[in-house]
Structure 1
Amino acid sequence: MPGSWKRITETDGENPRYDARTEERDHAGPLAGPAGAPRSSDGGQETGNGDTAPQFIPEQPRRSLDEVILPDTVRQRVELALDLVAHHTLLYDTWNLRSIDPYRRGTALNLYGPSGTGKSLCAEALAHRLGRSVINVDYAQIESKYVGDTPKNIVRCFEEAHEHGAVLVFDEADSILGSRLSRVSQSADHAVNVSRAVMLRQLDRFDGLVVFTTNFPRNYDAAFVRRILTHVKFELPDPETLHRLWERLLPEALPIEPGFDRGALAQESAGLAGGDLVNVITGAAAAAARRGGESGVVTAGDLMLEIKSAHRARAEVGRAPEPDGPAEYTVRRLSREEVLGSNVAPDAVKAEDAQSPDSAPSPVAAPETQA
């Protein structure tokens, strides 16, 4: 008998038979299946992200549409989207729009625009107006490392929404509705195309409301654009909307210095989104809490300082996507020394030497960052 083997010993009815495989499994973890996927102790293959399949649980919306402060033009488009859902039977059955659009069973909406303009909040408020629960789905929930599980997760979230009559919301939808790959060179490319095809099919079959939100609408595949009934562009708040935001966002319980001008705050915060204003108020409140005592109230100076900080962050940190134009690339022309193989590092070239691809006469160029 090989030295690494252990003899199987007979036991009574109280103790199980023992062999080396049992000990090996206890020390090395679950036995692997034929395809290398881990298996549970009873032999069943585990699926989904991690060890269990994702759960798509309906939740009750906490915000109403009356709490969402939007520019008038945006609100009109949102109200039109609600009309499409509320009057679906009248439009498609009584007025027979089904004769020209026979395959549409539900309604898909797309909310797009800069970050912080209230897209996700509005999606939740739409469910509140319709009296439905909401299922929020992000890419991490449906993406799986196991072959074939991502399409199954897509189907599962639609089934849960149908069963509970819930509004299905996909945040950062550009990661899910991205363009299909025309050149499939590896299995991962094929898996991407299969997932996109399953999503298209589920949209055709689903009879409820699906809401997509994104900061990068240009990344959508054209087939998804056609299946989405209404696209609502969310914009940065105008002066009147900013004034209403300042009236609404400051909590009554927040100790505020009396007499400061909300109109001045609205004027100074031009170019900021509602999400930026929430950060401004939170930062100003933290400064007041640090002072404490009688001076522990939020002053106009606290808010102005945080507004300046928010403007600086928008200008210096990151770059907001441009929904109205295609993606751009910053291209740096290589110096003569670099082309000839000198030791000059690429980072040594100044930023002002960067130029657009169309204006670069040199045939040698290196793409750096995507806008």
Structure 2
Amino acid sequence: MNSPDFPDWYTANAQVLMIALNQVRQALNRQISYLQNQTFEEENQPTQQINSQNLDKPFALDQLGKHFNLSDFEREILLLCLGMELDPIWSSLCAAAQIDSQHSYPTFSLAQTLFEKPNWKAIAPESPLRRWNLIEVGAGNSLANSPLRIDERILHYLVGTHQLDKRLVGIVKLVSVSQTFVESHQKLAETITETWIKAEKPSLEIEKLELPVIQLCGNERVGKRAIATQVCHRLGFNLFSLSTHAIPTSLNDLHQFIELWEREAILSRAVLLLDADQTDTIDTAKENAIALILEQISTPLIITSQDRQPPQYRPIITFDVNKPTSNEQRELWNQALGKSAESTNGFVDQLVSQFNLSSTDIQAACFQIKSQENYTMNSDNLWNICRIQARPKLDELAQRIEASASWEDLVLPQTQQHILQTISSHVRQRMTVYERWGFAKKGARGLGISALFAGASGTGKTMAAEVLAGELKLDLYKIDLSTVVSKYIGETEKNLRRVFDAAETGGVILLFDEADSLFGKRSEVKDSRDRYANLEVSYLLQRMEAYQGLAILTTNLKDSIDTAFMRRIRFVVKFPLPDINQRAEIWRRIFPKDTPTEDLNIKKLAKLNISGGNIRNIALNAAFLAADEGKPIAMTHLLKATESEYAKLEQPLTETEIRGWV
């Protein structure tokens, strides 16, 4: 909300106020003359009428009276209070008119004496003057003789200075009109605009509006705000946002906020955007406050949230807002990159295929790469920037794993290697198959790319996930099941939703490690807990089918996985314990090229019947033993490390396995 840039209006408005105040001043002088038994001489009033028809908007005093339906007497009371702020001798006039030097301020009793058609209702709590806090009633011995003062926000409004009420500063914030707007969101904004217009014909006078609440649902926060700004821009409204974190929870503070906001909405022709997208992280008091706002605020209201808010007495119309479509994202990339898009050689399609970004995310990524020194369009650089830009906020529920393993580090049978490479190709080519070849048009069900890695501990399941992440240049997140699974009903689904919703933006690889507890077989329903546990499994099935990134489940016990999951999982990779040839290959690759070794016998080391994870532990422990002695790694160090590893596993180390080591 900006100060008016209409000097002609500002000057004319000041003249109108002075004429109106002069009439009240004459009423004061008339009363003073009467009390002093003197003859009162009327002052000459200006004959020139000031017309607002040729100006940009009506005069503030007229507009205020129209907004709040003020009677002539209520308007005169307001002017009586206004004079105290604009005329330095006003207080002495009030004192003289009341024959009391202590009453040097406006009172309701004085107003009854000065003006025609006085009405006690003008000072009642539900009168416009007090209902909308246009005036403040100070402390006094009686209501009629208590000091009256004009509210500061109303004072500024009348003199033409439009500023947000200072009591709302820091709680609500003006939202600027979004400049980036995709076609799908444009159509939705047009629909919402028509909905409000048809709900309140023939005019959209803010003080008379009884519009239904507009609810924008979904995970596309940027798009929801852009739609809200466009709707308000089309209807000539200002838009102010209120975060749920800024909502007062005390009932007194909340009621005061609602009263102040409704008045501000009328004065500023404003719509409130209630940003409830973070309701997962707020407490019950905040949720109750949101419900009260939806129920009591009568001025135009838009709410953005991930989930639908329960219906209140006021009608709520809900619209789902999705991310820009693939074609819209492609167009946004081309616009943001400009001429640089011509040198990407189709790389934009790969970005759209992998990253489901909003318009602001795309702009931020392009700004970042263009701001680099010696800027050149580099596809790898832009891809990494997008990875960081789309990186989900999963710190509480997941751990990001730096993918350092490569195909050379992974020793598996040829069949398993082939399945892993097939998984990689499915992720890379999903845009071609789903979008260009039309499989997505058949429905979103079954488009999720999921894999089950089954095998004993240490057989390479997590390493395989790292290899896929490195191959696809994607982030890998290991889900912490201890923070996801909750004993409280509904909390597990809420946590799972947060995981998948956050991961959708960047198409990250989700690794549900040791997923038996979460993906286990659904049980026979014997009590309410069994029923809710089965609901958790069903919800997870739905999300996995719709998630178009890669979700990997690992388990040590494949048979414990629910059969419904098995039907929906696209790939199953069995990780067997390595045979002697595979163990020999693991030993050859286990030591980095910079590691000093001496006379290692790979054939003898391969006789240890253990997993690749145990081999890594032995190699690492042997490295520390050798480093402590200042020598290269030798068979003696490996023997000591092997004995320690077998003791940890509580397995006997046979003579056959270590014969001839030293």
Instruction: Tell whether the structures are fold-level matches, with TM greater than 0.5.
Output: yes
Give 1:62's aligned residue. 404
Structure 1's 306 and 118: CA in aligned 2 closer, same or farther, altered over 3 A? same
Once residues 401 and 646 of structure 2 are traced to their aligned partners in structure 1, the CA distance between those partners, rounded to angstroms, is: 35
The 3 A distance-change label for structure 1 pair 156 and 261 is same
Q: Show the counterpart of 1:241.
A: 582
**Runs of 5+ consecutive residues of structure 2 not aligned to the other structure:** 1-280, 288-393, 653-662
Tell me: higher relative CO, structure 1 or 2? Use CA pairs within 8 A at least 6 residues apart.
Answer: 1
Structure 1 residue 154: Cα displacement: 0.6
Question: Does structure 1 residue 125 correspond to structure 2 residue 460?
Answer: no
TM-score by length of 1: 0.63
Structure 1 residues 53 and 120, CA gap change in structure 2 (3 angstroms):
closer
Paired residues of 1:138 and 1:172 also in contact (CA < 8 A):
no
For residue 553 of structure 2, the aligned residue among 197, 212, 223 is 212
Matched, 1:281 2:619: yes
Residues 112 and 214, structure 1, Cα contact 8 Å, conserved in 2: yes
TM-score by length of 2: 0.37
> Which residue among 523, 538, 561 is the counterpart of 1:197?
538
Is residue 302 from structure 1 mapped to residue 642 from structure 2 by the alignment?
A: no
Q: Which residue does the alignment assign to 1:176?
A: 518
For the 8 Å contact 1:135–1:161, the answer to whether it is kept is no
Alpha-carbon offset, residue 91 of structure 1: 4.8
| Displacement of 1:194 | 1.8
> What's the CA shift string for 1:151-190, capped at 9, x where partnerless?
10011101111022211111111111101121232x3323
Partner secondary structure for residue 496 of structure 2: helix
The answer to whether the aligner puts 1:265 opposite 2:605 as a matched pair is: yes
2:447 matched to 1:105?
Answer: yes
* 8 Å CA contact 2:514, 2:556 repeated in 1: yes
Whether the 8 Å contact between 1:60 and 1:132 is mirrored in structure 2 is no
Supply the distance in 1 between the matched residues of 2:395 and 2:625 (Cα, whole angstroms): 44
**Residues 114-158 of structure 1: CA distance to partner in whole angstroms, max 9, x if unpaired?**
110110111122122112112211311211243311110011101
Give the AA of the match of 1:262.
Answer: I
1:261 CA displacement? 1.9
The 1:303/1:65 distance shift into structure 2, 3 A limit, reads: same
Matched residues in 1 for 2:286 and 2:395: separation? 13
Q: Give the AA of the match of 2:511.
A: V
The one-letter amino acid of 1:263's match is K
**Structure number with higher helix proportion:** 2
Asked if structure 1 preserves the Cα contact closer than 8 Å seen for 2:458 and 2:613, the reply is yes
Q: Does 1:148 align with 2:483?
A: no
What code does the residue aligned with 1:307 have? Answer: T
SS in 2 for 1:233: strand
Check conservation: 1:265, 1:304, Cα contact below 8 A.
no
Paired residue total? 266
| Residue ranges of structure 1 left out of the alignment (5+ in a row) | 1-38, 46-51, 318-371
Question: How do 1:287-326 and structure 2 match up within 5 A?
Answer: 287-289=625-627, 292=629, 296-307=631-642, 310=645, 314=649, 316=651
Kindly report the root-mean-square deviation, in angstroms, between the aligned alpha carbons of the 2 structures: 3.2
Amino acid at match of 2:610: L
Q: What is the alpha-carbon distance in structure 1 between the residues aligned to residue 545 and residue 284 of structure 2?
A: 38
Within the candidate set 455, 458, 463, 1:116 is matched to 458
Structure 1 residue identity aligned to 2:546: R
Cα distance in 2 for partners of 1:142, 1:251 equals 36
Aligned residue in 1 for 2:413? 71
Q: Which of 547, 562, 566 is matched with 1:221 structurally?
A: 562
CA distance in 1 between partners of 2:532 and 2:283 (Å): 29
Q: What CA distance in whole angstroms lies between the structure 2 residues aligned with 1:194 and 1:42?
A: 24
User: 3-state SS of the aligned residue for 2:505?
Assistant: helix
- Secondary structure of 1:298's counterpart equals coil
| CA distance in structure 1 between the partners assigned to 2:617 and 2:406 by the alignment | 21
Between the aligned partners of 1:146 and 1:237, the Cα distance in structure 2 is 41
> Could you tell me whether the CA contact under 8 Å between 2:524 and 2:530 is conserved in 1?
no
Q: 1:53 to 1:40 in 2, by over 3 A?
A: farther
- Report percent identity of matched pairs: 29
Tell me the SS of whatever aligns to 2:457.
coil
Is contact 1:54-1:153 (8 Å) kept? Answer: no
Task: Work out which of the two has the higher radius of gyration on C-alpha atoms and give 1 or 2.
Answer: 2
Q: Is the CA contact (8 Å cut-off) linking 1:58 and 1:166 kept in structure 2? A: no
After superposition, where does 1:341-352 map in structure 2 within 5 Å? none
> 1:135 touches 1:168 (CA, 8 Å); kept in 2?
yes
C-alpha displacement at 1:44, in angstroms?
Answer: 4.8
Counterpart-to-counterpart distance in 1, 2:521 and 2:537: 8
Partner of 1:165: 507
CA contact (8 A) 1:58 1:164 kept: no
How far apart are residue 311 of structure 1 and its match? 5.1
Deviation at 1:241, TM superposition (A): 2.2
- The separation in 1 between residues aligned to 2:534 and 2:283, in whole angstroms, is 34
